[in-house]
Amino acid sequence: MVRIDNLMVRLTNDKKSRLEYYARVMPVSMSEVIQDYCKNLPKPSKIGIRYR
């Protein structure tokens, strides 16, 4: 799957360190950690939110 959207996220130094550590331990990229987290979120239609 080609990923074309970019997202800028602001994190505290502590949260960035946690993300870096988790990605290193898992061995995946920080981007993949966030993508996997998002995959586990419910789709908007399942929680009563409609797409625009």
Per-domain boundaries in the chain: 13-42
Of residues 37, 28, 34, 39, the one with CA closest to residue 6: 34
Residue 39 has pLDDT above 80, yes or no: yes
The per-residue pLDDT of the chain, averaged, comes to 89
Residue 15, both tokens:
């949260």
Q: Which residue has the tokens 């870096």?
A: 20
Which pTM does this prediction carry?
0.74
Instruction: List % helix, strand, coil for the chain (3-state, nearest 5).
Output: 50, 0, 50
Q: Could you tell me the pLDDT band of residue 34, with boundaries at 50, 70 and 90?
A: very high
pLDDT of amino acid 49: 63
